[in-house]
């Protein structure tokens, strides 16, 4: 059987080996999940909630171990890996809360002449087996965002974690089993997209595919999933606008973090930064000073801000995109150095909308600063994207903030913050090229359940 080796992204050391699931192994896993579904979906909500609460507490109890594992298999700086574990614990906590309040509504049947004398109500039913496919950049919390609401709703799950960072999910599954999750309610399959991912998406058992990852793969999944519900959490080339009335002392460190945390490999990473010309010089100066103070290197070093990217190839791709921008007239204000998978936080200016670093998802520690004179122009430029996940605007002018909230066709507008803000219970997801459907525990539960109408006629 084919084996998958998982490496430490900084040292290259082998961290573990897993068996790759081919189509037959995927089919066996979906059957086990299907067999587990009736008992799990019939488990009373309070018991499901108790297991999810225990999982939340277990994640907290194992926080250091999990953070180190995330840092090693993904290259994420330890401080961000620790923050991810805390968020995942909270995500499971929200799921425990949510499990207890999944409910339907009555329908005033006599509002229609056809319904006179009848009593009607709808129930929110688990959808069945959910196929969950997750990316490398949040190996725990993005898994939690699928597994926790699916289990809260009474679904069984077959999870295919990213093949470069699957060990955290393996550990999570073991902790869930210790917390009392019955066998089969969560099945894991390992392997790459074309082999294991496609087998899972095209398998007839799952009623739904819940995918987080790149836009190209999202489109492929839509094409092969057949008659299943599909939710897609895809990429973005996030914009944030900084108006002249912004508090620069607050905005700059937040913008720097938003551009470079996790080496820019966050779907909400700040990529296009529109700064009003009146403050552009002061803002840029501070931005560069804060950026040059970042520590790049070993993710396990507690002082590390930026660890390696997921692979040397990913860093080389980022370097090539920066070179393309420079060749077409952009100026580099800082960064640009690459050593293997390490890519130093890079700041560009004099960019054009058609450059890859602007119009595509850069997914690397690269940010472009664009000056503007008129607020409306900044809004138009921020809106000029095929993506629509989240955007940010710094201003104390309520009219401008609300205009941005209405005008930008995105899933979330963060006022006095950057695109990167996310709390795990808020509705979260993208429009247009950024995907279909919403996560955030309550909203994922809605996606992962179907409505069943019950009408009682007089006997």
Q: Which of 26, 129, 158, 201 binds ligand NAD (CB under 6 A)?
A: 201
* Least distance CB 179 / ligand NAD (angstroms): 24
* 135 belongs to the binding site for ligand NAD (CB under 6 A): yes
Residue recorded with tokens 């920066």: 322
The SS3 assignment for 340 reads coil
| Residue nearer to ligand NAD on the CB measure, 160 or 442 | 160
- In the chain, the largest separation of any two C-alpha atoms, in whole Å, equals 79
* Single residue of 84, 233, 305, 424 touching ligand NAD by CB under 6 A: 233
Angstrom distance (rounded) from CA 270 to CA 237: 7
User: What phi and psi values does residue 5 have, to the nearest 5 degrees?
Assistant: -100, 135
Catalytic residue, candidates 198, 267, 304, 439: 267
**Block residue for tokens 């993710």:** 299
Interface residue with ligand NAD among 134, 141, 368, 419 (CB under 6 A) is: 134
Candidates 8, 22, 97, 192; binder of ligand NAD (CB under 6 A) is: 192
Residue 233 bears catalytic tag: yes
Q: What is the nearest approach in angstroms of ligand NAD to the Cβ of residue 165?
A: 8
Both tokens of 73, joined, read 């298999």
271 binds ligand NAD (CB under 6 A): no
- 201 is known as an active-site residue: no
In the list 154, 184, 213, 392, the residue contacting ligand NAD (rule: CB under 6 A) is 213
Beta pairing, strands 14-19 & 366-372: unpaired
Contact with ligand NAD (CB under 6 A) among 94, 136, 287, 372 = 136
Site membership for ligand NAD, residue 133 (CB under 6 A): yes
Give CA–CA dist 277/371, Å, rounded: 5
Contacting ligand NAD within 297-316 (CB under 6 A)? none
Residue with smallest beta-carbon separation from ligand NAD: 193
Q: Determine the Cα–Cα distance for residues 221 and 243; give it in Å rounded to an integer.
A: 40
Stretch that binds ligand NAD, among 77-85, 227-235, 295-303, 327-335 (CB under 6 A): 227-235
Kindly identify the residues of this chain, within the stretch 369-428, that bind ligand NAD according to CB under 6 A: 389
Alpha helices in 100-166 (DSSP H): 141-152
Reference 196, options 229, 160, 166, 222; nearest CA is 160
Question: Looking at 168, 212, 258, 395, which residue binds ligand NAD (CB under 6 A)?
Answer: 212
- Rounded Cα distance between 44 and 42, Å, is 6
- Residue 203 makes contact with ligand NAD by CB under 6 A: no
Among 127, 181, 205, 234, binds ligand NAD (CB under 6 A): 234
- Could you tell me whether strands 412-415 and 14-19 are parallel, antiparallel, or unpaired per DSSP bridges? unpaired
Residue 271 corresponds to which tokens in the numbers above? 């990529």
The active-site residue out of 98, 233, 446, 447 is 233
Nearer to ligand NAD by Cβ, of 20 and 109: the residue is 20
Please give the span between the terminal C-alpha atoms of the chain, in angstroms, as a whole number: 60
162 touches ligand NAD by CB under 6 A: yes
Bridge-based pairing of strands 342-343 and 338-339 is antiparallel
What does the alpha-carbon distance between residue 139 and residue 358 come to, in Å, rounded to a whole number? 27
In this structure, how many other beta carbons lie within 10 angstroms of the beta carbon of residue 225? Answer: 20
Q: Catalytic amino acids?
A: 233, 267
Query: Which residues would be at the binding site for ligand NAD (CB under 6 A)?
Result: 133-137, 142, 160, 162-163, 192-194, 197-198, 201, 212-214, 217, 220-221, 233-235, 267, 361, 363, 389, 430, 435
């Amino acid at each position: 059987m084919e084996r998958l080796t998982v490496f430490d992204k900084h040292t290259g050391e082998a961290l573990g080996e897993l068996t790759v699931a081919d189509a037959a192994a995927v089919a066996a896993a979906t059957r086990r999940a299907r067999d587990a579904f009736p008992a799990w979906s019939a488990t009373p909500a309070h018991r499901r909630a108790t297991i999810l609460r225990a999982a939340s507490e277990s994640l907290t109890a194992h926080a250091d171990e999990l953070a180190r594992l995330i840092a090693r298999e993904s290259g994420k700086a330890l401080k961000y890996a620790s923050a991810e574990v805390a968020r995942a614990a909270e995500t499971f906590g929200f799921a425990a809360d949510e499990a207890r309040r999944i409910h339907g509504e009555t329908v005033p049947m006599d509002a229609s002449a056809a319904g006179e004398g009848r009593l009607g109500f709808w129930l929110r039913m688990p959808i069945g087996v959910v196929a969950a496919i997750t990316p490398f950049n949040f190996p725990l919390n993005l898994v939690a965002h699928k597994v926790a609401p699916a289990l809260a709703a009474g679904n069984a799950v077959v999870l295919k974690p990213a093949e470069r960072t699957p060990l955290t999910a393996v550990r999570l599954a073991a902790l869930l089993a210790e917390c009392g999750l019955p066998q089969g309610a969560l099945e894991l399959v390992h392997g790459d997209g074309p082999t294991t991912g496609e087998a899972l998406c095209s398998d007839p058992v799952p009623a739904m595919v819940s995918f987080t990852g790149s836009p190209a793969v999202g489109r492929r999944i839509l094409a092969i999933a057949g008659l299943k519900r599909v939710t897609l959490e895809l990429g973005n080339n996030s914009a944030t606008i900084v108006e002249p009335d912004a508090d620069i002392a607050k905005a700059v460190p937040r913008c720097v973090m938003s551009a470079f945390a996790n080496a820019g490999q966050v779907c909400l990473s700040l990529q296009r930064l529109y700064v009003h010309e009146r403050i552009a010089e002061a803002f840029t100066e501070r931005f560069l000073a804060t950026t040059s103070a970042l520590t790049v290197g070993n993710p396990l070093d507690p002082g590390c801000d930026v660890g390696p990217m997921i692979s040397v190839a990913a860093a080389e791709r980022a370097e090539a995109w920066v070179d393309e921008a420079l060749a077409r007239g952009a100026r580099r204000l800082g960064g640009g150095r690459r050593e293997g998978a390490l890519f130093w936080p890079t700041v560009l200016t004099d960019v054009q909308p058609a450059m890859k670093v602007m119009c595509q998802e850069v997914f690397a520690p690269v940010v472009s600063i664009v000056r503007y004179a008129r607020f409306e122009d900044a809004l138009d430029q921020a809106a000029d994207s095929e993506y629509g996940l989240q955007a940010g605007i710094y201003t104390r002018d309520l009219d401008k903030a609300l205009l941005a909230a209405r005008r930008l066709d995105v899933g979330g507008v963060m006022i006095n913050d950057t695109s990167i803000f996310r709390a795990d219970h808020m509705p979260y997801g993208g429009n247009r090229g950024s995907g279909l459907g919403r996560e955030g525990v309550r909203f994922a539960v809605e996606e992962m359940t179907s409505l069943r109408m019950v009408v009682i006629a007089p006997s």
